[in-house]
Chains A and B, each alone.
Chain A
Amino acid sequence: MMDLLHWDGTLSAKDFRIGAVAFAQKWESLNFAFPPWVWVPCPKHPWLASPELLQEEGYLSMEKICISRLNEEDIDQTTQIDTDEEEASCSGNKDVIDDATLVQRNHHELHYYDFHIVYSNTFRVPVLYLRAYCSDGQPLQLDEIEKELPTCSSKELSKSKWTFITQEEHPHLKRPWYKLHPCGTGEWMKLLFLNDTAQPKFEVVLELYLLSWFSVVGQVVGLRIPFKMLNDR
């Protein structure tokens, strides 16, 4: 199939789809705190008459992730607000988002993140797109997101404002999203697998590609993959 020694660390669109599905399955099978990754087929072009092509192109989506980087004191206050909310609300609605919309806006407010993993035809690698919003749906600006990023990421962001995370058009949704710039991805992905002494076959690499990729990229936005996911082949 493919000789890993000459592999440049990139994927074809088809490989991406196979790798994405494998990643989503593994993610779900481990069933930890995060919601599942869902494969979203791209809206078809209006000139395509038949739905067969729908599976071809798409992206992975994981939405409404609550990332809170609050300190102890903040957490106490947040919990307090939530508790008040519960008492005030008698609807019995279990929908977290709906409940939260009633919370007063303040700087302790919870923020929600949507993550999409989109294939780049240019760089031939997965690219992470994200957006963040308050519980009332109000989008967060980059400087607000920056405050919630791990320290090394926010440092990088202030150092390279235009080449690290920028707002760009989501390739499929055609709306502004934040994008993590992908230009070195192929190279470090290749290194990740070259260091593997087991010299896996390309099929195995494909299975692990997105997991390995996300173990690096996820950290940039503060999402860590549990070790058991990485160790368990």
Chain B
Amino acid sequence: MEAQKYVWDGAIPLQIHLHESQVTTLPPPPPALILAPRIGYLPLLASLLKPYFSSTLPPGVDTIWFDYNGLPLKWYIPTGVLFDLLCAEPERPWNLTVHFRGYPGTVLIPCEGEDSVKWSYINSLKEAAYIMNGNCKNVMNMSQSDQLELWHSVMNGNLETYQRVSSKLKLATVEDEHTSLCSSKSQQGFGETDLAGQVKTGRVPVRLYVWSVSEDFDDLEDMPKVDSWEKISYINRPVEIHKEDKCFTLHDALKILVPEFFSNDLMNVKSAGVDFEDALRIPSEDVSSDKVVEDHVQNAYEHREACSISSSAEIKLIRIQGIEPKLEIPFSWVVNNLMNPDYFLHICVCVKVPQQNST
């Protein structure tokens, strides 16, 4: 579980500028430099930013929010996911603008400080529990003190406490396919118990963010900036792991979520100019699966017909926790190591779509 430790220790260097409309002193305050945890949420930085900028703020009531190049940032998306999604070419430090006035309430859900963030986290955890266990009773019945301890462990990045408290939730786990032989042909549902008494699940909570780019570009550096959330499709759908003779890979999972990108098989990705070979930075024990990914593209999908697929949509980038993982990695490894503390696997995908002729 070393990778999980990396994820928990992961942080984004931020350079935070106060929005000019809220600067009332000369010279304007220098930007704040903060190392923000990947698994954290932006409003939680208020306790650092408010004292830093307070002397220059105009009088009034503070409601903190952030933007990146004018795009208001959704506070309920973990900071690391925002970075992976909006900075295809990682910008370090990441230049954000903080606002204490003029909350864009039509775009962003109101945030009443830490309580809002905590409950957004708990509700997300509840959702994940429902997917994995078929109910969310354990999360709902969590004692007040456990709930707080769990939340504080997430806020403070304390993995040990998190593991101890979250184990009380008895959430079903995804079996590591790269350590066990995939012999059973059956599809795993929830509630199956192995010899050790650990409940296994085949349903994985996934939040997928797809950024569609219509402009042409060769280099990630030349990519346009996201100027509107309209360009990002959000798919919140569990992935059912199908047990077959071979391992269920990240590729298989993405093919279930967005079959449209795999209509022309994996060549789409290979021709995309992204080098997936060196992309994996976190070492994993045994992911050198020798199976040919292309050989099971003929899977029948639930309801989407191949004929309705845009032939030239092309995946440019897949990023999870700052990593560009190989598609042939067992999905179970990805889930168990790279999920967020809300038990969701957040996957960021950038896709090049053809220019729209019609509306």
Contact = CB atoms under 8 A, between A and B. Distances in A.
A and B part of one assembly: yes
Interface of A: 8, 14, 45-50, 52-53, 56, 121-123, 139, 162-163, 166-169, 171, 174-176, 181, 183, 187
Contacts of B136: 183
Interface in B126-162: 126-127, 130-131, 134-136, 140
B279 interface: no
Given A45-B212, A123-B130, A162-B122, A174 B309 contact: no
Interface of B: 74, 76, 105-110, 115, 119, 122-123, 126-127, 130-131, 134-136, 140, 205, 210, 212, 214, 229-231, 233-234, 236-238, 258, 260-261, 303-305, 307-311, 313, 351, 353-354, 356
A46 B356 contact: yes
B110 A45 contact: no
A46 B127 contact: no
Contact of A47 (B74, B115, B122, B313): B313
Contacts of A169: 74, 76, 109
Contacts, number: 89
A176 B108 contact: yes
Nearest to A52: B308
A49 B354 CA distance: 9
A46 B233 contact: yes
A44 to B, nearest CB: 10
Contacts of A139: 105-106
Contacts of B212: 45-47
12 contacts: A45-B210, A46-B231, A46-B353, A48-B260, A56-B304, A123-B127, A166-B119, A166-B123, A167-B109, A167-B110, A168-B109, A174-B230
A56 B308 CA distance: 12
B308 A53 contact: yes
A121 B236 CA distance: 7
B110 A176 contact: yes
A47 B312 CA distance: 8
A183 B122 CA distance: 13
Contacts of B105: 139, 176
A171 to B, nearest CB: 7
Nearest to B358: A51
Nearest to A8: B134
Most buried by A among B108, B237, B308: B308
A125 B134 CA distance: 13
A49 B355 CA distance: 10
Contacts of B231: 46
A174 B308 contact: no
B244 to A, nearest CB: 22
Contacts of B126: 183
Given A171-B236, A175-B106, 8 more contacts: A8-B134, A46-B231, A46-B233, A46-B353, A47-B261, A47-B353, A49-B308, A122-B130
A122 B308 contact: no
A121 B308 contact: no
B75 to A, nearest CB: 11
A206 to B, nearest CB: 17
A49 B305 CA distance: 12
Contacts of A175: 106-107
Given A47-B313, A47-B351, A176-B108, A121 B238 contact: yes
Given A174-B234, A176-B108, A50 B229 contact: no
Contacts of B134: 8
B309 A49 contact: yes
Given A45-B212, A48-B309, A167-B109, A183 B119 contact: no
Nearest to B308: A50
B222 to A, nearest CB: 20
Chain B CB within 10 Å, residue with most, of A139, A176, A181, A183: A183
Contact of A162 (B119, B313, B351): B119
